[in-house]
């Protein structure tokens, strides 16, 4: 028998499959240093435990059955997160209403961004004919209202940051665990998911629209030239120099909205030193696990009444993975990560390729630790 000192490692939990035995068993386990089996005889998987990853042996402890693994055993949270119909309880309403004021404008922001066509033609004409004052005025007249839109997008990112920090405060507070928070406060979890869903959609649209940076660069160059020549600038009151600098940094990012959320989460952790960082990262990893389990479990997936909920779950899962990878010290791809990356990537690859290529690319190109030496070759291969 192993000594207590030899039983250490990753914290795992097990929920009894027996209907009359509501037990959660926690045990710390690790692969023994020798190659000898931990138990003399392998036992068959217990009934109802299909969601456990059977990479070890089962231990019969009366009515308790526990799987011991030589690597972290990932088990999805045992609850359904209702992304379609969750309504706030009394205790959630204050934060929910604050966040809802921001989220009600999100769809309009995406519609404006999707319809953003830019002033490329007018700018090219003005650059090619620098002495033609009418073409200069025409280009400036086309760019100024577009910069007004870009300002609105940027200001919305600041509102979204404040909303996210409010949600993080509610979903990571003591005495409840992240899993308990997500299960008890489903309306706030839904809002958190909606912020991530919006973020990935915004960044996808921004990445495929080079006109945004071209328009803003032309605006700043022209404004600078007007100042030098003491020419009054119609749009200067709309976007002053300080705001233009901040907007320039925002739009220079490949994924500006995700960067905003990542910075906001990091700032939340640093400002709440009495709150362990694990409270925040566990909230993210639990959300990723919830999405993965709901997508890969037919019983849960059959509860979706809207076809869009699948793509919503996929996008939220990828969003929390990326956020976790930016905030956690070792990221989402290390062996010690609490996110089952292989399982998440498999869920993505099980979908029609055209529907998830953008999400796979988000994992390939917007994560922080994918190319670290600690990332397994298998995970890198799955994302090639």
First-residue to last-residue Cα distance in the chain:
44
Provide the pLDDT confidence category of residue 79 given band limits of 50, 70 and 90.
low
One domain, residues 213 and 294: no
Confidence check: pLDDT of 51 > 90: no
What is d(CA 356, CA 348) in angstroms, rounded to the nearest whole number? 6
pTM value? 0.76
One domain, residues 292 and 231: no
Give pLDDT, residue 236: 54
203 falls within a domain = no
Q: Token pair for residue 320?
A: 């929390």
3-state SS assignment for residue 57: strand
One domain, residues 141 and 238: yes
Give pLDDT, residue 232: 65
Confidence check: pLDDT of 77 > 70: no
One domain, residues 231 and 284: no
Domain count, the chain: 2
**Count of alpha carbons within 13 Å of 248, Cβ hemisphere only?**
13
378 falls within a domain = yes
One domain, residues 236 and 321: no
66 falls within a domain = no
Give pLDDT, residue 235: 55
Confidence check: pLDDT of 160 > 50: yes
25 falls within a domain = no
Helix axes 308-327, 341-349, angle to 10 degrees: 150
Give pLDDT, residue 39: 37
Provide the pLDDT confidence category of residue 10 given band limits of 50, 70 and 90.
very low
One domain, residues 120 and 230: yes
- Domain extent, residue 327, equals 276-383
Residue range 169-221, pLDDT digits in tens: 999 888 888 888 888 899 999 999 999 999 999 999 999 999 999 999 999 99
CA 99 from chain centre, in angstroms, equals 17
Least confident of 58-72, 95-109, 279-293: 58-72
Q: Token pair for residue 1?
A: 């028998």
One domain, residues 238 and 326: no
Give pLDDT, residue 234: 63
- Say if residues 191 and 164 touch (Cβ distance below 8 Å): no
164 falls within a domain = yes
Residue range 322-331, pLDDT digits in tens: 999 998 989 9
Residue range 84-100, pLDDT digits in tens: 888 999 999 999 999 99
One domain, residues 240 and 308: no
Give pLDDT, residue 384: 82
Residue range 116-146, pLDDT digits in tens: 999 999 999 999 999 999 999 999 999 999 9
Give pLDDT, residue 24: 33
One domain, residues 288 and 164: no
One domain, residues 240 and 325: no
């Amino acid at each position: 028998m192993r000594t207590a000192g030899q039983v250490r490692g990753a914290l795992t939990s097990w929920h009894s499959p027996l209907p009359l035995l509501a037990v959660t068993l926690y045990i710390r386990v690790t692969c023994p240093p020798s190659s000898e089996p931990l138990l003399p005889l392998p036992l068959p998987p217990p009934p109802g435990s299909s969601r456990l990853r059977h990479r070890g042996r089962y231990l019969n402890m009366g009515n308790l059955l526990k799987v011991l693994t030589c690597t972290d055993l990932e088990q999805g949270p045992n609850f359904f997160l209702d992304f379609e119909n969750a309504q706030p309880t009394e205790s959630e309403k204050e934060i929910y209403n604050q966040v809802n004021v921001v989220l009600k404008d999100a769809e309009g922001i995406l519609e404006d961004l999707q319809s953003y066509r830019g002033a490329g033609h007018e700018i090219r004409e003005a650059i090619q004919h620098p002495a033609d004052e009418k073409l200069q005025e025409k280009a400036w007249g086309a760019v100024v209202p577009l910069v007004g839109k870009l300002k609105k997008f940027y200001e919305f990112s600041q509102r979204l940051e404040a909303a996210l920090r409010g949600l993080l405060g509610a979903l990571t507070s003591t005495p409840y665990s992240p899993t308990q928070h997500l299960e008890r406060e489903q309306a706030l979890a839904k809002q958190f998911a909606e912020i991530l869903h919006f973020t990935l959609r915004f960044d996808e649209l921004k990445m495929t629209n080079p006109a945004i940076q071209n328009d803003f660069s032309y605006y700043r160059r022209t404004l600078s030239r007007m100042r030098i020549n003491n020419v009054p600038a119609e749009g200067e009151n709309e976007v002053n120099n300080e705001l233009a600098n901040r907007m320039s940094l925002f739009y220079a990012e490949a994924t500006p909205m995700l960067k905003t959320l990542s910075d906001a989460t990091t700032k939340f952790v640093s400002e709440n030193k009495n709150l362990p960082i694990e409270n925040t990262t566990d909230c993210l990893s639990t959300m990723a696990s919830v999405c993965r389990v709901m997508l890969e479990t037919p019983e849960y997936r059959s509860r979706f009444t809207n076809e869009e909920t699948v793509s919503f779950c996929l996008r939220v899962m990828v969003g929390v993975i990326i956020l976790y990878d930016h905030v956690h010290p070792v990221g989402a791809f290390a062996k010690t990560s609490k996110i089952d990356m292989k399982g998440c990537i498999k869920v993505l690859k099980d979908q029609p390729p055209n529907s998830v290529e953008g999400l796979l690319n988000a994992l390939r190109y917007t994560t922080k630790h994918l190319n670290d030496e600690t990332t397994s070759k298998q995970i890198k291969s799955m994302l090639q």
